[in-house]
Amino acid sequence: MNRLLNILFFLLTIGSLASCTTVTNLTRVSPTPVPTLAGMPSDGSPPPAVLEIDGVTQTAGVGTYCWSGQTASGETVTACADMIGIPTASEPLIASSPVMARLSLPLAEPPSQLSLSAFQVSSVHELPDTAGEYRWWSFTEGFTSELSLQTSQEIILELAPGLYVFYVFAVWDGQGDVSYGFLVEVK
């Protein structure tokens, strides 16, 4: 009960601080947009990336971002969202080490910056579920590596058995930046 009260107090404090800040050109968006039939979010927020391991795919949770995109009505909006953690799918992709995965980014244009962080997680790192279909994770120690500036690439990682969050950060000049979260279990 105390933990729930502490989390509620933290969220109210953050909300109060955020309401004291003047922001222009900001559109309120959901933390994990629902893709339209064309595969792009209908609210102008960034589209999700995809990770594939052994023929099984996982759509990324869309984390913190600042993004310029078009809404379903064709209006261009700039939106920023600062997430409390890293959202991932509820169920992990299953892999064996070395993990061989294919990361596919959602835009045809390659990013100007792209990095991958991987860190082992447990129930201690999991945040309370706020969206229902996603699991949320706090950052923890791991490693970070710059990736090739490509829209699709193979990633090979030597990892010990366990549950991992793969955190991808991408920047597209003129479009914005976005973080993605994937959940992978190494057997």
Contact 76, 69 (CB under 8 A): yes
The verdict on whether omega for the bond into residue 98 sits within 30 degrees of 0, i.e. cis, is yes
Confidence class of residue 69 from pLDDT cuts 50, 70 and 90? confident
Q: What is the DSSP letter of 26?
A: -
pLDDT of 111 strictly over 60:
yes
The predicted-structure confidence for 114-135, as pLDDT tens digits, reads as follows: 999 999 999 999 998 665 789 9
pLDDT of residue 21: 29
Of 109, 177, 106, 179, the residue nearest 137 (C-alpha): 179
Tell me, what's the pLDDT at 40? 53
Of 13-17, 18-22, 70-74, 176-180, the range with the lowest mean pLDDT is: 18-22
What is the DSSP annotation of 64-91? EEEEEEEBTTS-EEEEEE--SSEEEESS
- The full set of domain ranges for the chain reads 47-62+84-186
Q: What is the CATH number of domain 47-62+84-186?
A: 2.60.40
How large is the average pLDDT for residues 91-107? 98
Residues 6 or more apart in contact with residue 39 via CB below 8 angstroms: 47, 106
Distance (Å, rounded) from C-alpha 179 to C-alpha 49?
Answer: 10
The predicted pLDDT at position 133 comes to 82
Query: Which segment, 19-23, 26-30, 156-160, is predicted with the most confidence on average?
Result: 156-160
